[in-house]
Amino acid sequence: MSGRVSVAVPEGAGGTRADRFVADAAGLSRAYVQRLISEGRLTCAGRLLRANTILHPGDALELDVPEVVPLELQAEAIPLSVVYEDEDLLVVDKPAGLVTHPAPGHPGGTLVNALLAREGSFGGIAGVARPGIVHRLDRDTSGLIMVAKHDAAQAYLMAQLKARRVKKTYLALVGGSVAAVVGRIEAPIGRDPKHRTKMAVVADGRPATTGYRVRERFAAWTLLELDLVTGRTHQIRVHLASIGHPVAGDPVYATGLVRRGPEGLGRLFLHAWRLELAARSGERLIRVSAPLPPELEGVLDGLRTSDPGRVA
């Protein structure tokens, strides 16, 4: 299905959420409809609607369904750093700049293309374009990402993530001096109503929680350890920007000096450092970590040498 889909809300459907009603009426999955809504493709009388907009009888909805471009996945000999492997999963240390999975307009050069070049198979329950994928990292974020080697493992890992039983810890260098040594940010995240390609803390967003601890202080910067309790899009970046401490090198949520970052920084200073989860057998705990890549460690070394305000 593609093109404009027109749907009128009948008398008996008043009080229904927009995403649920449109998915049922158009015969599309709710997740797909939610994605289209997040892209600004659902309107009523020319007004953009949110997924949780409550509909009224007589509302005339218009959904713009883009033409689906089939993805032809190809194996590519892209080097991968596998830091852990067992019969159920791989844990890969993803470099910054590598996209997790293909998408229209970006069919190749991704982690998935690299995985297809490895021997063996991967779980397929997330769709043909995401073999083994259970979560993702932003393109400019480096660090640990889990990959399921078969369907049962993929289902298990997805369930563990949903139940928040996978502990994901990140390292980030942020602008300014974070006052509290230990803190917790609880603020809902959703699409920025003014900039639909960005996320923001919004009252009607999805619940999101990030814990943090100060690891090292500099005169103009703070190195944090961050626990990603929930997994919303751009969560760490949005939460830190919302408290006035955006991530160094962030081209979307930071401005001025913080956007440029300290001397020598050429990318977002955000790294998925550590993962902890129970093995599928339930008999052991898997703990994996990945050190900061050289380009980020080099920035810290420069600050430690030149920054008189450093506090370890």
Tokens 């603020």 belong to 187
* Nearest of 241, 162, 231 to residue 201 by alpha carbon: 241
CA angle 91, 96, 98 (to 5 degrees): 75
The per-residue DSSP string of 173-218 comes to EEES--S-SEEEEE--EEE-SS-TTSEEE-TTSB--EEEEEEEEE-
Instruction: Give the C-alpha separation, 76 to 127, whole Å.
Output: 19
Given 24, 64, 86, 138, the catalytic residue: 138
Please indicate whether residue 86 is annotated as part of the active site.
no
Beta carbons of 133 and 101 less than 8 angstroms apart: yes
The region that residue 110 occupies, defined by phi over 0 for left and psi between -120 and 50 for alpha, beta otherwise, is beta
Tokens of 90: 């791989």
Helix (H, G, I), strand (E, B), or coil: what is residue 232?
A: coil
Tokens of 235: 């969560």
Instruction: Give the C-alpha separation, 29 to 172, whole Å.
Output: 36
Which are the contacts of 130, defined by CB distance < 8 A and separation ≥ 6? 101, 112
Cite the active site residues: 138
